[in-house]
Amino acid sequence: MTTETESTPPAETILDSIAEAPADHYRVLKISDLDGEKLYELSQFMKLSLSQEDMLAIQEIYQEWDREPTDVELEVIAQTWSEHCKHRIFGANIEHEIDGEKETIQSLFKTYIYDVSHRIFDRKPGFVLSAFHDNAGFITLDENQAVCLKAETHNHPSAIEPYAGANTGLGGVIRDILGAGKGAKPIGSLDVFCFGAPDTEMDNIKADDVLHPLGIMRGVVRGVRDYGNRMGIPTISGAIQFDDSYIYNPLVYCGTAGVIPIKDIDKEVGAGMKVIAVGGRTGRDGLHGATFSSAALDTESHEEDQQAVQIGNPIEEKKAADFVLAARDEGLIEFITDCGAGGYSSAAGEMLEECGGTIDLDSVILKEPGMVSWEIFISESQERMVLAVKPESLPALRKLADLYETELIELGDADGSGILKVTHHGETVCQLDCSKLHNAPIREMKSQWTKKTEAVEPPLVENAGEDLRSLLSDFAIVSREPIIREYDHEVQGNTVLKPLAGASGDAPQDATVLRISGSDRLMSMGLSVLPEWGKTDPYAMGTACVDECFRQLVASGADPDRIAILDNFCMGNPDDQEELGALVETVKGIAVAAEAYGAPFVSGKDSFYNYFETEEGPVSIPVTILVSGMGIVEEASHVTGSSLRHDDSVFALIGHTQGHLGGSVFARQKGLEKAEVPSTDLETAMESYRKYYEAIQQGLILSAHDVSEGGLAVTLAEMAFSGKAGLEIDLCSVPADDEMSKAALLFGESPSRLVVEVAPENLEKLADLFEGLPFAALGRAAGEHRNLRIDWGKETLINEPIDELKSLWKNGLAQYY
């Protein structure tokens, strides 16, 4: 051994001053005499990300126990109480003020997510099989199988090393699915990014060591590509938002869906079971990810955390996945969870919090020698899964591990004591009664929001054709094809409705639909992210996001009564009252829409402190919510794409068009930052979606496309990108507000609207179905030409060759990626 023991001693730290080292591998920390300030200093020194109040609460717990904590225990508590794991802002008491009115909210999560969803569960017995407590929520597919969806963010790691950050982000959420129930099979992934514009000038980046948005985009896409493709999970769904506010804090959402036999959803740990781990080895490479992601970024974090960057190893995870699914099918798994934030400490903690048991750190295979107890226990090294199994299953499990070439270790035992005990080198380094750790102090917070919009005169549209070209070339709208083609979106052979489809194979679709092996039913995946709306009207953003996601799913053929959704929030500084106010309003918006649509939340996540100290002061992201969702499609014939199919069909518009332009790409291009944002008429929308579903069941709908970014004109253009025919449209009978502007008619983004294509002989039937609801015939497919022609009564607003429009749209991103 050449370990140097006599080097120059560094200046004494707070940790040294209170530590007693009974052994080399762990320490007892005398915290009972420290005051609040010193406790907070200790938290910062150890990178625990615990507040002074938290540290005082911990001190009190240990005073009750009449002993001092070990460093392992403090790390475990820090993980358990971290924002990442505990979501303490969503559980906080918030004094909220909206346009001068005050209210108190006790837990955003309970009030607007949990309670709302549970009311829906009660209305729809048997639909949601599991929500909020497992790694992902499950909904019923058919008699035998259930599907689930989970989304996560990996923002801070992706800002520092985009490839590695995105790659481990996707790897992590895939493990969530593998650890859902007794192991669900991952069947499709989604990825949603928010970046600065790819053409951002270097001089406009006001901080050192911040990567250019293009570098971030390229790295993130390749990271998702290399992990998803190697795992053999199709990346089928996604979105990208470009906005300067994301230059310093890019957002990277990764989500994965899974399928499981219903009998394998419930899982339980019992006394006498063995705790085992499979997959990758444990190293120092993954220390302090959970607490790191609960803190803001600055230039220093780019330098300091260079040690923390992990790169994923998808083949390691693929081997573990093959093992898990085979073991589940053989009935060898009693409980399983992934090793994510907090590593073994949270996986074992979750597994043993009620039952109790012992984890033996000597069993862990290490990547490097000399790791101390807390490092092993909280390391977030990738590609590891933790299972509880019956002792008699061990030989069969070992055989499977050999077969799939993954390492299996016996980590410990569940014993029914209710105590989480950790041993290392023959000593107990942690002994915690987890039931005593649930009472992290509840935060008291303040928030306020005041209306940011005002009545704005809509701009005159002088050359609508030019405006349409400009929209189709906008980064918000241009085709994501260069990126989509880098992802294998057809592996597993079940991608029925692909992200790019239609007769030409490259036209955009609203949702993607997967066939599920062993079922006649299919699963649709959709998503919505509308940060531009939230800048001025976060409540409207919330309702519109739920509406858009829901509408995509319905459009693709899903049953509107069998849809479940996820909420994934990102925001800047929650201690800023205005920013927190925007969050509160967003949450209220999604809650009211979810309840009206009967679409429960089954899982969600949040990411805070997405702000950055630049040379010119802090820059926060706008409150950004991703609403993603899954819907059940009853049969393959219901699957409906978004591209024009026949050259003799007719077109109709479902939904009401409002005069407001706020939040639209058009408004952004014209500099109308404060324009009022459209609201969502939830009851009418839901009624329309039910009627639409009846039309689907009757086989009336040839294709359907939601009206979203770019408004009706862009929607029609996108439908025509299949190349099958031109379009002749007249807007004169579009259901709309009185005194509509051309701008709002053509380019406004009012929610709840769908353009549908039907055979001429079916138009009347469809119109009858929509009696009393906003519905109008729009025009016809024109086989005789290939122009998009849009009239408003006698006036021709747009008459543009579709191939020219398509070429603008198709090539907009290609030069950057």
In angstroms, the CA 148 to CA 629 distance is: 10
* Residue 588, φ and ψ in degrees, nearest 5: -60, -40
In angstroms, the CA 719 to CA 715 distance is: 6
| Range 60-69, long-range pairs (CB < 8 A, 24+ positions) | 61/436, 61/437, 62/31, 62/32, 63/32, 68/28, 68/29, 68/30, 68/31, 68/32, 69/28, 69/29, 69/31
The yes or no reply on residue 212 touching other proteins (CB under 8 A) is: yes
In angstroms, the CA 39 to CA 536 distance is: 40
Name which position in 93, 107, 111, 229 contacts other proteins (CB under 8 A).
Answer: 229
The yes or no reply on residue 32 touching other proteins (CB under 8 A) is: no
- Nearest approach, Cβ of 384 to other proteins (angstroms)? 14
- Nearest approach, Cβ of 616 to other proteins (angstroms)? 21
**Residue 796 exposure: Cα atoms within 13 Å on the Cβ side:** 9
In angstroms, the CA 557 to CA 103 distance is: 40
Name which position in 306, 450, 463, 698 contacts other proteins (CB under 8 A).
Answer: 306
- Nearest approach, Cβ of 367 to other proteins (angstroms)? 10
Name which position in 21, 271, 403, 732 contacts other proteins (CB under 8 A).
Answer: 403
- Nearest approach, Cβ of 382 to other proteins (angstroms)? 9
Residue 788: which of 803, 802, 778 has the closest Cα? 802
Residue 617: partners with Cβ closer than 8 Å, 6 or more residues away: none
Q: Which is nearer to other proteins, 160 or 570 (CB)?
A: 160
The yes or no reply on residue 295 touching other proteins (CB under 8 A) is: no
Angstrom CA distances, 331 to 263, 388, 389, 511, 664, stand at: 10, 12, 10, 34, 52
Interface residues for other proteins in 320-379 (CB under 8 A)?
Answer: 322
Q: Which is nearer to other proteins, 24 or 303 (CB)?
A: 303
Name which position in 92, 178, 211, 523 contacts other proteins (CB under 8 A).
Answer: 211
The yes or no reply on residue 214 touching other proteins (CB under 8 A) is: yes
The yes or no reply on residue 104 touching other proteins (CB under 8 A) is: no
- Nearest approach, Cβ of 447 to other proteins (angstroms)? 35
The yes or no reply on residue 309 touching other proteins (CB under 8 A) is: yes
Q: Which is nearer to other proteins, 489 or 668 (CB)?
A: 489
Interface residues for other proteins in 483-522 (CB under 8 A)?
Answer: 484-496, 498, 500-505, 517
Name which position in 318, 424, 656, 670 contacts other proteins (CB under 8 A).
Answer: 318
Name which position in 206, 230, 446, 674 contacts other proteins (CB under 8 A).
Answer: 230
The yes or no reply on residue 206 touching other proteins (CB under 8 A) is: no
Q: Which stretch binds other proteins (CB under 8 A): 88-96, 99-107, 318-326, 801-809?
A: 318-326
Q: Which is nearer to other proteins, 20 or 303 (CB)?
A: 303
Q: What is the x/- site pattern for other proteins, positions 608-647, by CB under 8 A?
A: ----------------------------x--x-x---xx-
Residues identified as active-site: 84, 154
Task: Describe the crossing of helices 802-811 and 711-720 by its angle, rounded to 10 degrees.
Answer: 100
**Residue 257 exposure: Cα atoms within 13 Å on the Cβ side:** 34
Q: Which is nearer to other proteins, 226 or 338 (CB)?
A: 226
Between strands 28-29 and 19-20, the pairing is antiparallel
Q: Which stretch binds other proteins (CB under 8 A): 74-82, 298-306, 612-620, 806-814?
A: 298-306
In angstroms, the CA 492 to CA 122 distance is: 35
The yes or no reply on residue 744 touching other proteins (CB under 8 A) is: no
In angstroms, the CA 808 to CA 792 distance is: 25
- Nearest approach, Cβ of 486 to other proteins (angstroms)? 5
Residue 772: partners with Cβ closer than 8 Å, 6 or more residues away: none
Q: Which is nearer to other proteins, 284 or 785 (CB)?
A: 284
Rg (CA), the chain: 27
- Nearest approach, Cβ of 283 to other proteins (angstroms)? 9
The yes or no reply on residue 402 touching other proteins (CB under 8 A) is: yes
In angstroms, the CA 562 to CA 556 distance is: 13
Residue 566: partners with Cβ closer than 8 Å, 6 or more residues away: 137, 149, 150, 151, 255, 601, 602, 603, 604, 626, 627, 628, 629
Q: Which stretch binds other proteins (CB under 8 A): 313-321, 329-337, 580-588, 602-610?
A: 313-321
The yes or no reply on residue 703 touching other proteins (CB under 8 A) is: yes
- Nearest approach, Cβ of 213 to other proteins (angstroms)? 8
3-state helix/strand/coil string of 133-161:
CCCCEEEECCCCEEEEEEEEECHHHHHHC
Residue 259: partners with Cβ closer than 8 Å, 6 or more residues away: 141, 145, 146, 147, 148, 184, 185, 187, 516, 517, 523
- Nearest approach, Cβ of 555 to other proteins (angstroms)? 14
Estimate to the nearest angstrom the gap between the alpha carbon of 802 and the chain centroid.
34
The yes or no reply on residue 285 touching other proteins (CB under 8 A) is: yes
In angstroms, the CA 501 to CA 602 distance is: 30
* DSSP alpha helix (H) spans, 643-681: 665-669
Q: Which is nearer to other proteins, 382 or 528 (CB)?
A: 382
- Nearest approach, Cβ of 737 to other proteins (angstroms)? 35
Residue 112 DSSP code: I
In angstroms, the CA 241 to CA 528 distance is: 11
- Nearest approach, Cβ of 242 to other proteins (angstroms)? 15
- Secondary-structure percent of the chain, ordered helix, strand, coil, rounded to 5: 35, 25, 40
Name which position in 21, 23, 271, 315 contacts other proteins (CB under 8 A).
Answer: 315
Name which position in 311, 366, 394, 767 contacts other proteins (CB under 8 A).
Answer: 311
CB 181 within 8 A of CB 267: yes
Q: Which is nearer to other proteins, 495 or 752 (CB)?
A: 495
The yes or no reply on residue 1 touching other proteins (CB under 8 A) is: no
In angstroms, the CA 172 to CA 166 distance is: 10
Q: Which is nearer to other proteins, 35 or 199 (CB)?
A: 199
| Count of Cβ atoms closer than 10 Å to residue 594 Cβ | 29
Q: Which is nearer to other proteins, 271 or 403 (CB)?
A: 403
- Nearest approach, Cβ of 600 to other proteins (angstroms)? 30
Q: Which stretch binds other proteins (CB under 8 A): 78-86, 112-120, 159-167, 783-791?
A: 159-167
- Nearest approach, Cβ of 649 to other proteins (angstroms)? 12
Total residues at interface with other proteins (CB under 8 A): 63
* Residue 653, φ and ψ in degrees, nearest 5: -115, 130
Widest CA span of the chain, in angstroms?
91
Q: Which is nearer to other proteins, 365 or 403 (CB)?
A: 403
Q: Which is nearer to other proteins, 223 or 662 (CB)?
A: 223
Residue 771: partners with Cβ closer than 8 Å, 6 or more residues away: none
Name which position in 249, 310, 536, 552 contacts other proteins (CB under 8 A).
Answer: 310
Name which position in 72, 220, 231, 240 contacts other proteins (CB under 8 A).
Answer: 231
The yes or no reply on residue 579 touching other proteins (CB under 8 A) is: no
How buried is 791 (Cβ within 10 angstroms: 0-12 exposed, 13-18 middle, 19+ buried)? middle
Q: What is the x/- site pattern for other proteins, positions 175-204, by CB under 8 A?
A: --------------------------xx--
Q: Which is nearer to other proteins, 36 or 518 (CB)?
A: 518
Residues that bind other proteins (CB under 8 A): 160-161, 164, 201-202, 211-212, 214-215, 219, 225, 229-232, 284-285, 302-303, 305-307, 309-311, 313-315, 318-319, 322, 402-405, 482, 484-496, 498, 500-505, 517, 636, 639, 641, 645-646, 703
